[in-house]
Structure 1
């Protein structure tokens, strides 16, 4: 049975892991790295994913997409500000959804995320020697229904079978508590690239029970980076009267420099940000450079309001769990942004304990997802593990007067199911529109609408007579399913969902087909590059044989040299037929050269040399020297 894997689909970086010998292990990618940047670049018909995409971002800012997780499952009016900070074009899509424009084509965030998932799984399949299909994908605990559904759809577009969507802090707790035998109350503080979660769990005897969760889906490391970007841009504008944020290439370089500075300030008291040739003077066309020294104290001043925002979710989670700081046994830090010294200080100040740093903040979530995948597949090495999670936000319906009638309150254990009876407000009302909401505010307009469900065909009856049974059912993924029927008449009516931000089934199916077509095109491009590189490698080997065998007959050397020259021209032409012809001729001439005994002694075998190929050096649809 093929193994299931766990995937941490991160805002900045993503990680994939699998259970090996009873323990979760991270699977390195094709480049040999344990994390893969969640970056996708589009260059003509080619798609680059991961580090290779990140490297070319400054030269291709309009078509290099990053931090797309912040847009997945969101409405345009929720992300308008964040969209304006990106060097690429983010705009409003159908039904108030979000779309990213690249090379004249509109992409859904789910499509872009699917590219990252596909890269992770393809690399892992190559390492494990078996095709991976089944996955567990993590999401921030404070992701709402639309965001969870959209994440699941990203996996489907990538051609994967998503076994479960699991909360990131819960996954991290699984990784931390796998070998713990005693009872502990643990607070997981998860500050990643784009989101912030706080989850309190009770661990003991194989049971991982979530007591409460809170968070902020608009707070993450990218927001800290943005403060540095704004500071650099403002300082430069004061000096040169030019806003670098209006230049996509300059903005991309600022974003990369800001992230690097933030990381360096975790271990140093100050850092120098140097960006030569950041732009040109618009009048004289002379190059302009940016160089600034940023101290840790200044960084904390720039991010003071963000640092204050991490307090409230911690206090809310404690209150919802009915616990005090003294009741917390361990604080687990997850997410790269927890390395910021000021963040650690705040956590220690609130809880009164030094955070436990025994788990790798970059890998813990993926490791826990792998444990969950193992549990689902019945991995006997895990024993009996029970995971009890909760829903992060209250779910309800809109009732007369624009009020919210809660159906399932936040921090309710999932799966969960709740049924309530509603009725009509007017005589002979033929139908009702049930507005499903998610949030904690008492008025419907202040919460997020997940969809509008129309129940039609109600027989004519006086107001208050119809018995409309509405059922909310949250599955183990935290995804909501809603049904409704009119009981008095005994007749069930159909439900239609409108105006949701997630993709409908037709869109998902279309994107799956496009992904399969793209995968085939990528394979063909990869094979073409491989043929070209194999021929060029053979050409270099042939020339080396000529140099190393100076005493060989001149006519043999001339024929081999001519074949090598033809190979060089074929490589430059990029013509498949010409490459194949040149490869055949060069192999024949090299074989003849060595068979004659003129150049076969160098390897001690006298056999036919083959073009060298190193599969681990393949990166997407390109080749490069191993790093």
Structure 2
């Protein structure tokens, strides 16, 4: 009998757990018969309540909801969270005195309890879903939450990829390209996948880890607050009522926003569906920008897609479905349960890993390039974006100056040419014996596992000593508002970035070449003829002038001209060195 591995959708608003039984993926219901559990946690003095029980306490006691928005974040990155957040270890976040991982662990612990109650056996392993655009720190935080709940997280899987697995399970013999529009409570992703003969390959993905139904709730409250002269900053009561009205407007053309005992008395305001659609329009347009970028990255047009699958609770909103239909030119596929598809896909992947299902293979991608900073502040990419994972890649680096005793490996994520414009994921030092410039060698290898987690290995070639670092949230300080902008910024600044890279590379070579030229000219031992010396001085002046002007292409051309002019001198220097070495050996 294969080992049981759970499939878990750890959602912003709702969560669910499933397992493969007799070759079929099923979601497990709690004692009330509900397969979907609110991602809500209440902390008492000696007890914890999760799900519906926790929500019943909202309005009386603080209840943590949407904690997924805090995962892997720093305190200064947190915006619009309904409960007060305080500074945690390493600049992280704490809410009600607990880390986001600890709160999420309570949700996972309850899902684990439901599974063990239904299956009548202990369970220790799980596949957990995350938004496709979760960074390394957020993925690592999700894994730690699972471990705190007593689960070995055998794989992290992207949510839209999980939804595509659920969609494509009965289409394994077909070849099709599918866009999965995943608009949940706290995050948005658009992924494009190709399915053929049971192989699911992600072609591209784009999204925003701070864009979801919660933002619609905040926007609706701010509209009501403006109409009624109330503070724009919402609390838990305001957000709960905004969510209720939002849901009601998916079925009705008008709903009354009721908030008794507000600061200025009881609030009663009629909200029409048209009002809500105007409020929601700017947020929906942000999802459209992500869709267009994912299509561009996959090098596909909307006509080349076979289906557009909607998942996530926010896709129940009629305005969302209408906007998707207008962009993609076809009616969206509504065959998947908005709240259950991701959990079902995670369950399928868990079944594949446990051996309970064998006909599916999943090939995911990394959404952004990964690399290290090199001399001169350049970004050296080791793993380009949209590389199929798992994967690994490496490169050899040398010391930039003589006498150097260590090398700082600074790990970066992003699409810009200069290191400063990308996100720092972490750094560490690799020590080695001092050597002449370019003689010490350090091999750097990046490895991304099936869950998208990054491991960096640096090896001192001389000693064979390895330094291995796993990237986690303590090393991540990334403003996720820039996630959706990174690729578009790389396009917007492409010419400027490339010009700066060309200039920097040319400047580094120029500085090295000018030093070598000065050393040769100072020797005065007949290696350089008067004619050569005059030409070299002229070209050296051209290089220095181009450096001062800061123009990339003229500097590159000047360096190439000086390099060519010194080729003969360099050859004579090598011959002289070889002769001296030979004479020394003969003398010995």
State whether TM-score is above 0.5.
yes
Q: 1:243 aligns with which of 224, 227, 231?
A: 231
Report the alpha carbon displacement of residue 124 of structure 1 after superposing the two structures with TM.
Answer: 1.8
1:74–1:501 contact (8 Å) kept in structure 2: no
In 1, Cα distance between equivalents of 2:16 and 2:355: 22
Instruction: Look up the match of 2:458.
Output: 484
| Partner secondary structure for residue 57 of structure 1 | coil
In 2, Cα distance between equivalents of 1:48 and 1:413: 40
Instruction: Look up the match of 1:600.
Output: none
Q: 2:367 aligns with which of 392, 395, 399?
A: 392
| Partner secondary structure for residue 501 of structure 1 | helix
Aligned pairs (5 A) from 1:587-602: none
Q: 1:230 aligns with which of 222, 232, 241?
A: 222
| Structure 1 pair 299–443 and aligned structure 2 pair: CA distance change class (3 A) | farther
2:454–2:470 contact (8 Å) kept in structure 1: no
Report the alpha carbon displacement of residue 399 of structure 1 after superposing the two structures with TM.
Answer: 2.1
Instruction: Look up the match of 1:501.
Output: 474
Instruction: Look up the match of 2:163.
Output: 172
Instruction: Look up the match of 1:97.
Output: 92
Q: 1:307 aligns with which of 284, 307, 314?
A: 284
Q: 1:255 aligns with which of 239, 250, 256?
A: 239
Deviations 1:38-76 (A, max 9, x none): 111112222111111111111113xx1111111111233
Report the alpha carbon displacement of residue 353 of structure 1 after superposing the two structures with TM.
Answer: 1.1
Instruction: Look up the match of 2:330.
Output: 353
Question: What is the TM-score of this pair, normalised by structure 2?
Answer: 0.77
| Partner secondary structure for residue 418 of structure 1 | strand
| Partner secondary structure for residue 315 of structure 1 | helix
Q: 1:107 aligns with which of 92, 98, 104?
A: 98
Quote the RMSD (CA, aligned, Å).
1.9
| Structure 1 pair 44–88 and aligned structure 2 pair: CA distance change class (3 A) | same
Aligned pairs (5 A) from 1:150-169: 150-169=141-160
| Partner secondary structure for residue 215 of structure 2 | helix
Q: 2:199 aligns with which of 207, 229, 242?
A: 207
Query: Which of 341-350 and 329-338 deviates more?
Result: 341-350
Report the alpha carbon displacement of residue 265 of structure 1 after superposing the two structures with TM.
Answer: 1.5
| Partner secondary structure for residue 462 of structure 1 | coil
Instruction: Look up the match of 1:319.
Output: 296
In 2, Cα distance between equivalents of 1:3 and 1:497: 28
Report the alpha carbon displacement of residue 260 of structure 1 after superposing the two structures with TM.
Answer: 1.0
1:451–1:497 contact (8 Å) kept in structure 2: no
Instruction: Look up the match of 2:482.
Output: none
2:17–2:111 contact (8 Å) kept in structure 1: yes
In 2, Cα distance between equivalents of 1:500 and 1:452: 13
2:136–2:471 contact (8 Å) kept in structure 1: no
1:138–1:165 contact (8 Å) kept in structure 2: yes
Report the alpha carbon displacement of residue 365 of structure 1 after superposing the two structures with TM.
Answer: 0.5
Instruction: Look up the match of 1:542.
Output: none
| Structure 1 pair 499–383 and aligned structure 2 pair: CA distance change class (3 A) | closer
In 2, Cα distance between equivalents of 1:423 and 1:273: 65
1:150–1:502 contact (8 Å) kept in structure 2: no
Instruction: Look up the match of 1:44.
Output: 45
Deviations 1:118-157 (A, max 9, x none): 0011012112211222211111111111111111111000
Report the alpha carbon displacement of residue 403 of structure 1 after superposing the two structures with TM.
Answer: 2.9
1:438–1:447 contact (8 Å) kept in structure 2: yes
Instruction: Look up the match of 2:65.
Output: 66
Report the alpha carbon displacement of residue 491 of structure 1 after superposing the two structures with TM.
Answer: 4.0
Report the alpha carbon displacement of residue 232 of structure 1 after superposing the two structures with TM.
Answer: 2.3
Aligned pairs (5 A) from 1:160-559: 160-180=151-171, 181-236=173-228, 238=229, 243=231, 245=233, 251-279=235-263, 288-379=265-356, 382-456=357-431, 458-487=432-461, 489-492=462-465, 494=467, 500-501=473-474
In 1, Cα distance between equivalents of 2:419 and 2:84: 31
Query: Which of 262-271 and 164-173 deviates more?
Result: 262-271
Deviations 1:370-399 (A, max 9, x none): 1111111111xx342211111122111122
Deviations 1:243-279 (A, max 9, x none): 3747xxxx21111011111111122222111122234
1:141–1:169 contact (8 Å) kept in structure 2: yes
State the 4+ residue runs in structure 1 displaced beyond 4 angstroms: 495-500
In 1, Cα distance between equivalents of 2:250 and 2:396: 55
| Partner secondary structure for residue 397 of structure 1 | strand
Deviations 1:304-327 (A, max 9, x none): 221111112111111111111111
In 2, Cα distance between equivalents of 1:98 and 1:429: 38
Instruction: Look up the match of 1:587.
Output: none
In 2, Cα distance between equivalents of 1:494 and 1:204: 40
1:454–1:497 contact (8 Å) kept in structure 2: no
| Partner secondary structure for residue 59 of structure 2 | helix
Question: What is the TM-score of this pair, normalised by structure 1?
Answer: 0.73
| Structure 1 unaligned blocks of 5 or more | 282-287, 504-627
Aligned pairs (5 A) from 1:69-80: 69-77=68-76, 79-80=77-78
Report the alpha carbon displacement of residue 417 of structure 1 after superposing the two structures with TM.
Answer: 0.4
Residues 1:28 and 2:29 aligned together: yes
| Partner secondary structure for residue 347 of structure 2 | helix
In 2, Cα distance between equivalents of 1:98 and 1:252: 19
| Partner secondary structure for residue 345 of structure 1 | helix
| Partner secondary structure for residue 204 of structure 2 | strand
In 1, Cα distance between equivalents of 2:107 and 2:471: 29
Instruction: Look up the match of 1:586.
Output: none
Report the alpha carbon displacement of residue 498 of structure 1 after superposing the two structures with TM.
Answer: 8.9
Deviations 1:508-543 (A, max 9, x none): xxxxxxxxxxxxxxxxxxxxxxxxxxxxxxxxxxxx
